[in-house]
Structure 1
Amino acid sequence: MSKICGGIFTSHVPGIGKAIAQNLQNDPYWKPFFDGFDPIHRWLAAEKPDVAVVFYNDHGLNFFLDKMPTFAIGAANEYRHEDEGWGIAFARPFQGHADLSWHIIEHVVASEFDPVMCQAMTVDHAVAVPFELCWPGKDAFPTKLIPIAINTVQHPLPSPKRCHDLGKAVGRAIESWGGNEKVVIFGTGGLSHQLEGERAGHINVDYDKFCLRNLAPDPEALLQHDTLDIVELAGSQGVEILNWIAARGALTGSVRELASNYHVPISNTAAATVLLSHSERVLA
């Protein structure tokens, strides 16, 4: 049976992608953030996951305000990153796992979710930056991709509980998959930040640390705020914590924090990285 080996939660700021493209990892401004990936690199080298299921939000590359699905799941055998205007276009393609994607889709539909099924899909910085951070300098990514996009842009947004429940359905689907793949779960985005309006530059360290403190031991604590509460607390883009909440829901067994890094600011964003180990739940 397939196994979920752990979870990686990280910011996906496009400025990080530009720093990678310009080899600024050791620049004093960027180094505290990039240093947070040292334990993740060691863990990935030891675990060697076969598949990464990535909960993220699309930034207008596939979906725009006139057509914005609440949830969308990629079911392609290959994905490519495209430049959205940030001046970064990472060339390495992402190999998909269409069979496992369809298994997940079938399971979440049976769990009464209604995702858009995408047999052709490009990915933006919300997927590409975390992959570049986790597997730097390789000719090809060693891990296949299954992207799951969550609407964090066009209101009404899904509730934190709905996203957590989606994650749980995805986790159960992976557990029931008949293959022997080792799967890592990603939640990308955030933490608190706002890019526009009177509160541009808003960062809420207290809320960020609340999320970091509870992510592993008590993820349901993050469900006490509805989406409008989160916008108020964390900023209009800080609502990307929904991706983290969904990813945490997919870790259905025993979870332990292995590493955590928090650095403020990175391009007007509270940047964070968390690594969680995962042991399978005991089925009754």
Structure 2
Amino acid sequence: MAEIVLGAWTTHGPTLSTTPEEWLLRLPADKARKDHPFRGATYDFPALVELRKDEDLAAQATLEERTRRSLLCRAAIDRLADIYEKARVDVAVIFGNDQHEIFLDDLIPALTVFNGETIWNAPATEAQAAISPPGIHVSEWGHKPPQYTEYPGHPELANRIIRQAIADGFDVAKSSKLPENPGNWHSGIGHAFGFIYRQIMRDKPVANVPLFANTFFPPNQPTARRCFAFGQAVGRAIRAWDSDARVAVFGSGGMTHFVIDEAFDAKIIDAIQARDAETLCSIGEEYFQAGTSELKNWIAAAGCLFETDLSGDLVDYVPCYRSEAGTGTANGWIAWNKKAGA
């Protein structure tokens, strides 16, 4: 039977593919936004500054500090990439999300399994770059190749996942071909997946199955409990697969952003390390908004990985602030693999 030999949780955002100076390209959007979600409520930028004034976040957002933390992030990515390389993976399953990259307002499924033969990606055109959100286009090298590229999908495993999910009560959508979406700001596979191809797999992706959850856009966001259960279904499909493949499972997204909450991130990390499913599943929807919603991809991966014999450690956790309001992106990485001799 197939064997899950690696479990990995990774952030994937623009902070990891831009310079510390470029982090501030997002600051005007931070200041203009009137409804930053934070600990179950929403605030504008001045209100966040007042609320968090005792945390001395300005000192954590200086260029010197941003530079130091950027280097820590790069070291963590390299370490996770090394762990992946040593695992000798044949096939990967990636829990990720979409941010109007593939699915647009005409159709946004709650859960989608990609079962195509090929997965394509390409750099943005000049027209797409012109309409990209602030601070996004400059980061695209981190999740897009320099030219049109096709990667291998894995229809056999994807179809097994679909059948298992349906049997377990998940009415999943399936996609066999990535759309062109002319006129959209993005084309090809989303950054949740492209980041792993480029920076963790170092541009040598194995055949893989992208799994999309609609974490961002109401009203059909699957709950944390539902994402965990979906991950369990995916794990059952992998373990029942009559194959000698060595499989990696990734949770791609998070951590707290666009307002960083280190205590909340610690709760997620601790629950994963303790295999505490109920803590992960019982977190209210009000905490999974904006970029923080991507942590549902981590929870789905946990549902898959908690039932393995893998174990491991936190690679690193680096909160990357860009303002005194606490805006920015918290970055984190966890790797589980087989114990020596197991």
CA contact (8 A) 2:94 2:252 kept: yes
- Give the direction of change, closer, same or farther, for the CA distance of 1:173–1:132 in structure 2 (3 Å limit): same
Q: Work out whether residues 158 and 209 of structure 2, in 8 Å CA contact, stay in contact via their aligned partners in 1.
A: yes
Structure 1 residues 109-129: Cα deviation after superposition (integer angstroms, max 9, x where no partner): 111101111010241111111
Letter paired with 1:94: Y
Q: Are residue 44 (structure 1) and residue 98 (structure 2) matched?
A: no
Kindly report which structure 2 residues correspond to 1:134-173, keeping only aligned pairs within 5 A, or say none.
134-136=200-202, 138=203, 140-141=204-205, 143-156=206-219, 157-173=221-237
The percent identity for this pair of structures is: 24
Amino acid across the alignment from 1:123: I
Does the 8 A contact of 2:318 with 2:332 survive in 1? yes
Aligned to 1:222: 280
* Structure index of larger Rg: 2
Q: Normalized against structure 1, the TM-score is what? A: 0.84
Cα distance between partner residues in 1 of 2:282 and 2:301: 17
- Of 94, 111, 118 in structure 1, the residue corresponding to residue 151 of structure 2 is 94
Counterparts of 1:71-220 in structure 2, within 5 Å, are: 71-82=111-122, 83=124, 85=132, 86-87=136-137, 88=140, 89-90=144-145, 91=147, 92-121=149-178, 122-136=188-202, 138=203, 140-141=204-205, 143-156=206-219, 157-194=221-258, 202-220=259-277
Q: Is the 8 A contact 2:96 2:297 kept in 1?
A: yes
Report the alpha carbon displacement of residue 14 of structure 1 after superposing the two structures with TM. 2.9
Give the whole-Å Cα distance in 2 for the aligned partners of 1:227 and 1:49. 34
SS at match of 1:112: coil
Contact 2:95 2:300 survives alignment (8 Å): yes
Alignment length, in residue pairs?
259
* 1:257 corresponding residue in structure 2: 312
**Residue 197 of structure 1: aligned partner:** none
Query: Do the aligned residues in 1 keep the contact of 2:96 with 2:213 (CA within 8 Å)?
Result: yes
Task: Name which of structure 1's ranges 259-268 and 91-100 shifts more when overlaid on structure 2.
Answer: 259-268
Distance in 2 separating the partners of 1:37 and 1:18: 14
C-alpha distance in 2 between matches for 1:102 and 1:59: 24
Gaps of 5+ in 1: 195-201, 280-284
Question: CA shift at 1:193, angstroms?
Answer: 0.7
* 1:82-106 Cα deviation digits (max 9, x unpaired): 4463332314432111111111111
SS of 2:12's equivalent in the other structure is coil
What secondary structure does 2:106 align onto? coil
C-alpha distance in 2, partners of 1:216/1:80?
34
1:198 alignment partner in structure 2: none
Q: Which whole-Å CA distance do the structure 2 matches of 1:266 and 1:103 have between them? A: 42
* Matched residue SS, 2:177: coil
